[in-house]
A and B are shown apart, each in its own frame.
Chain A
């Protein structure tokens, strides 16, 4: 058994880490948080040129053709550095949906996505509450889409959107929309994580083309969500580890009552619990990475386990990092809130924790003989 990444994969991880240490230090993250742009355009261009985001995409579509294990490690490093990039929208979902269900013509968009020359997103939710079939009001009639989607990740910058809407046959299907087309109106919305901004997208008779078979919208979304969940979970454990070590370092350096606060068991045990949560999540993520890389039929259970555990770990580590920092952790100036915000954004990005808990139970439920 080698339930671990190979030396080559770890070398790639180290390359990505070095790249991000240099090109995505905290000021790059903060510039996005403080500015209007939804992501860092310079970083996006640079990482596009590096090929890291195209690790899993086949060469025929402009990718590197390495594999999903490699992409998982790239995601982990992106999470560690709180990278302000459209990954969940463009890399983990839009790219995967085009690859899974796109026509040959639609797949010709993939090289531009892989090179970070274009951004794709998925437009699903419309109103508060869990997004179910009953919550979809967007409609396509005569090849034209009308409806409002919010919040849409990276909606201001995206070039194309994959939209779930009612089709003329009464089913719900996916449609591919060119966001430069007439009839598209966009408006930025403030969200809990300003380093990955969102928008309201209004469609008024926008020409769209179907993506995948009619009526298969939810089936495709659910399949792609399993894949995206593993990748997002790696971002989450990368972020959780960064938050844990930020807290550890602060606990070593901050003195109170004449001793480092890291010598108090109240703090030590909190940090130990953060570590335990992270390691349980990491192991679940490894299994998710394996299932994704070999397209195992256990992917639904593996993805949900990775997702539930990683969400929990990142939320715990990010919240406790503020706690360890005390009042300073509550300032805009300290970086703790960047993890707190990101951890809570990632928790909701592909459907929230309770949705994934439910998907997990469906996947592991013993089947009646």
Chain B
């Protein structure tokens, strides 16, 4: 048991650190340090421009899309080298935010299912930060039950014509390309009637509407499709094979190692050293210490679980469904910690005005953002199902939509509610 790099890992780390020291946009460091939970915020420069500039610089020097093959704009590095890079890149990694869905989900799906020509065109552009991708999966009627989507694609010569609506699309307004799952046959079982495409987000008939979120931001969007034409050449996988293609995307989501998610614990611990209770600094108050200890062991538990995953990667093992615990634990912690911090702040805990609220309303923002963390990218309940079924081997839930053609599955409307 040790925390040492192998000689090869140490050499890679040294090269990465040296390049970052000579090239990173250090002038953005202070802003990136305080850029909030989940969403990249920059005041001094357009965040997309900053993201694209850093990505291009990395690409030109061979530090982009580390794990992708060099033929597709990557660096052919190992998973552990990717982890080492992320450790060295530190806060500058936040600049990659707009590309995360492209690198984490859309890119790997294109890599697995697109034609050679498409891969050689699209993937280097993504690696170089020229294109931003979004993922057009969830719909108003299909979230956790993703295979229940209803956006229709109908064949028309060499094209498909798409009508319907997607929702919760992060970054759709910045995206050049979208990965789109559609229903092409409603008369077969629901998982069999799906087909995957990628499309140009500037196509006629695509309309993007920002969602005004409960935390007074608009990161998520609705995307409407009205007679949008997609060339058949932009189909990924066979007609009716969309679910299999989607699983590639979702499995790649899991490849991103958990444990690096923020929980707010270091900030809470620090707050407890300077906020006062009737027993002096909060950290000396027995009511506070017990709660703090419970948060502490969850925070270290996540951090050391990430170390275990990194060690497994270093040995050449693949990350498995056990990595689902990262977001499950971190999401709930963030919410609990925010509530606890507000409690410690006393009545000033109510303040959301950054200029007068404690810590520039850091915990208030966390309180209002954390409900989304517990839902996006697999809700707490879906993650618990994944652990129960794929780690512990328990049976899948008994479904009311099994062995029924999609158009016969009961809906709220069909049963008159």
Which residues of A are interface residues toward B (Cβ below 8 A)? 1-6, 69, 244, 248, 251-252, 259-260, 262-263, 265, 267-269, 271-273, 275-276, 279-281, 283-284, 286-287, 289-290, 293, 304-305, 308-309, 312, 354, 356-358, 360-361, 364-366
Contacts and interface: CB of A to CB of B under 8 A. Distances in A.
Given A3-B308, A304-B293, 12 more contacts: A2-B2, A3-B1, A3-B304, A265-B385, A269-B381, A272-B385, A280-B297, A280-B298, A287-B300, A308-B297, A357-B293, A361-B289
A210 to B, nearest CB: 34
Nearest to A244: B392
Nearest to B391: A275
Interface stretch (B60-68, B98-106, B164-172, B321-329): B321-329
A309 B329 CA distance: 14
Interface of B: 1-5, 269-270, 273, 283, 286, 289-290, 292-294, 296-298, 300-305, 307-308, 310-312, 314-315, 322, 325, 328-329, 381, 383-385, 387-389, 391-398
Contacts of B329: 276, 280
A272 B387 contact: yes
Contacts of A354: 290
Given A2-B314, A286-B304, A308-B297, A366 B273 contact: yes
Contacts of B310: 1, 3
A263 B392 contact: no
A273 B384 CA distance: 7
A1 B3 contact: yes
Identify which of B1, B307, B322, B394 gathers the most chain A CB atoms within 10 Å of its CB.
B1
B318 to A, nearest CB: 15
Nearest to B9: A1
Contacts of B381: 265, 269
Nearest to A360: B293
A357 B1 contact: no
A2 to B, nearest CB: 5
A252 B394 contact: yes
A354 B3 CA distance: 31
Nearest to A363: B296
B322 A3 contact: no
A271 B311 contact: no
25 contacts: A1-B311, A2-B2, A3-B2, A5-B1, A69-B1, A248-B393, A260-B394, A262-B395, A269-B384, A269-B388, A271-B392, A272-B392, A273-B384, A275-B325, A283-B304, A283-B307, A284-B297, A284-B301, A286-B1, A287-B307, A308-B293, A309-B298, A357-B290, A357-B294, A364-B296
A141 B392 CA distance: 59
B314 A280 contact: no
Closest 5 CB pairs of A and B: A280-B301, A357-B293, A268-B388, A283-B304, A3-B307
B388 A361 contact: no
Identify which of B297, B305, B308, B385 gathers the most chain A CB atoms within 10 Å of its CB.
B297
Given A69-B1, A268-B389, A260 B395 contact: yes
B289 A357 contact: yes
B385 A361 contact: no
Contact of A309 (B283, B297, B388): B297
Nearest to A309: B297
Contacts of B293: 304, 308, 356-358, 360-361
B101 to A, nearest CB: 26
B269 A248 contact: no
A267 B384 CA distance: 11
A6 B4 CA distance: 14
Nearest to A263: B395
A272 B388 contact: yes
B392 A275 contact: yes
A354 B388 CA distance: 31
A253 to B, nearest CB: 12
A257 B161 CA distance: 46
A281 B301 contact: yes
A265 B397 contact: yes
A364 B388 CA distance: 34
B305 A280 contact: yes
A283 B305 contact: yes
A279 B297 contact: no
A248 B273 CA distance: 42
Given A357-B294, A358-B289, A290 B394 contact: no
A252 B392 CA distance: 10
Given A4-B1, A69-B1, A365-B283, A279 B385 contact: no
Nearest to B394: A262
Contacts of B315: 2
B300 A284 contact: yes
A251 B394 contact: yes
Contacts of B303: 283
A2 B1 contact: yes
B290 A284 contact: no
